[in-house]
Amino acid sequence: MRFGCWRPWAVAASFGLAGCGASGAEVRATVDPAEWRPARIVIVTPVVPGDAIPPSGTLPAGVTRPTTEEAGTAVFEALRGGLAASATTIQILTAFTRSDAGAAAQRAARQYRETRTVDPAAGQSLAEEGGADAVLLTAVIRYGPEAETEVSTQAGSVNTKVGTTDVGISSAATRVVVWYNAQIRCALVRVADGAVVWDAGVRRRVKPSVLREVSQASVLEEATRVLCRALPWRRPEDELAPRAP
């Protein structure tokens, strides 16, 4: 398989720091935008296996476990909105006009989810789909809230004596904490030759705090924003800044 000017690299990801997961996107592969630039991209419905949704456990009232269908829809819409707002000149398509093309795309998406590779023939089979020159495959690795029990110990202020020894009294308390997960990988497949020209992943695992209100939607939004910022076909940030009158 020929990738042209494919330049793979990895951006260091420090999972779990400050309860926020990775600090940025992990870019596994990308192509030089000067060599090739997509004009029309079809977003394929994400693949969400059952084990991507954390076990429900004992979630607090008001916090629900999403279904795989709900997770797929939420990730699809978040990516569609994120790409539309990423100030590119790429036209985003959200559906196939041919059922056989949609089926082929789903097969490619499942292969990417399971192996992080794509058969070049899968991309080439979509070459005539609506004039699109690339398809975006998405694998949902982890999505949804999960409960975790935290134990906190506080030393008491009362001391007592046992014989000649001073003994401090301590107490322990437990509480249920909810972590919200959004771990996603995306691959952009060029339909002309089936090459994966961009492959990036992001992980977010965040819990609410007194300083930050967190929801599943906000964590997903943050994750997709990070992914879209890693897309090599965006205009530079300085070009997006408001111009002085």
Q: What are the residue ranges spanned by the domains of the chain?
A: 25-147+179-235
237-244 contacts, C-beta under 8 A, 24 or more apart:
239/87, 240/87
Token pair in block for residue 182: 């959004």
Which of 36, 192, 170, 189 has its CA nearest to residue 109?
A: 189
Chain center to CA of 169: 46
Q: What percent of the chain has pLDDT over 90?
A: 29
What does the pLDDT look like over 63-86, one tens digit per residue? 889 999 999 999 999 999 888 877
Q: Which CATH class is domain 25-147+179-235?
A: alpha beta
Chain center to CA of 173: 34
Token pair in block for residue 115: 């192996």
What does the pLDDT look like over 85-97, one tens digit per residue? 776 667 887 766 6
| DSSP 3-state of 213 | coil
**pLDDT value at 56 more than 60:** yes
- The answer to whether the pTM exceeds 0.85 is no
